[in-house]
Amino acid sequence: MQGELTLSDVSLIRMSQSGDNEAFAKLVQKYSTDAYRTAFMVLRDREEVEDVVQEAFLTCYRSIKSFRMESSFKTWLYRIVVNRCYDRLRKLNRENAAFNKLSLNLSIRNGDMDEIESRIDLKEVILGLKPEYRLVLTLYYGMDFGVQKVADILGIPAGTVKSRLNSARNMVKERLSANPL
């Protein structure tokens, strides 16, 4: 990388659209960490996340020629990642719901309340939220996107993003301040 010029996304996209695989590899390198982080906040399983992100980049690669730059590459990629996550969740929904209930019940049964309270942190609380709430929190706070950008990525109205953010904040606040007994 030393001595290499940094190319803008537009340049990398145009080069990728012309068949330059190295340019596409640079886009993958630039955005893979954030794509993984976003997918992990939804799926919480490293293998599933790896599959989803790989599928998302494969979709981008196959569709790059039709990308019209009406949005940023990042927004386009995140929307694909989120859609792939939702597809995967639909397939795994029953298994995940059963597993989450089981692990919650086990953690409550296997320790006293002081131990449970000491293990609860913000990350655990956020991971316990429904995917639509985890996603808006992750994109808004974790990725530092504004409300409209989150709305664009998720394909929902900005008002819905605001509502989910408000609901998610309230849920987090309630869960962090709740006294279990």
Q: Model confidence over 138-181: pLDDT tens digits?
A: 888 877 789 999 999 999 999 999 999 999 989 988 887 774 44
pLDDT of residue 60: 96
Helix boundaries (H) for the chain = 9-17, 21-43, 46-63, 73-109, 113-119, 122-127, 131-137, 147-154, 158-177
Judged against a pLDDT cut of 90, whether residue 20 lies above it is answered with yes
Q: pLDDT grade, residue 115 (50/70/90)?
A: very low
Q: pLDDT grade, residue 127 (50/70/90)?
A: confident
In the block, tokens 């929190």 appear at: 137
In the block, tokens 């709305």 appear at: 151
Residues 6+ apart with CB under 8 A from 81: 35, 38, 39, 52, 53, 56
Which among 118, 127, 117, 119 is positioned nearest to 168, based on CA atoms? 127
Q: pLDDT grade, residue 121 (50/70/90)?
A: low
3 state DSSP class of 58? helix
Complete domains list, the chain, with CATH:
7-107 (1.10.1740.10), 111-181 (1.10.10.10)
Which among 45, 35, 115, 32 is positioned nearest to 83, based on CA atoms? 35
Phi, psi of 103 (to 5 degrees): -65, -35
Q: Are 103 and 149 in contact (CB under 8 A)?
A: no
The per-residue pLDDT for range 61-110, each reduced to its tens digit, is 999 999 988 888 999 999 999 999 988 887 765 554 544 544 454 444 44
